[in-house]
Amino acid sequence: MVVGYPVTQPNHSKEAQVLLDIYMMGSDGMEREENEWSLIFSEAGFSDYKITPTNGIRSIIEVYP
Strands lying side by side in the sheet with 48-53? 2-3, 58-64, 48-53
* pTM (predicted TM-score): 0.55
Q: Report yes or no on 3 lying in a domain.
A: no
Can you give the pLDDT at residue 51?
92
Total domain count for the chain?
1
Check pLDDT > 70 for residue 61: yes
User: In terms of pLDDT, which residue wins out, 1 or 33?
Assistant: 33
Question: What tens digit of pLDDT does each residue of 4-59 get?
Answer: 555 555 566 777 777 777 776 776 667 788 999 899 999 999 999 999 988 877 78
**What domain range is 42 assigned to?**
10-64
Q: Report yes or no on 60 lying in a domain.
A: yes
| Whole-number Å distance between alpha carbons of 47 and 60 | 17
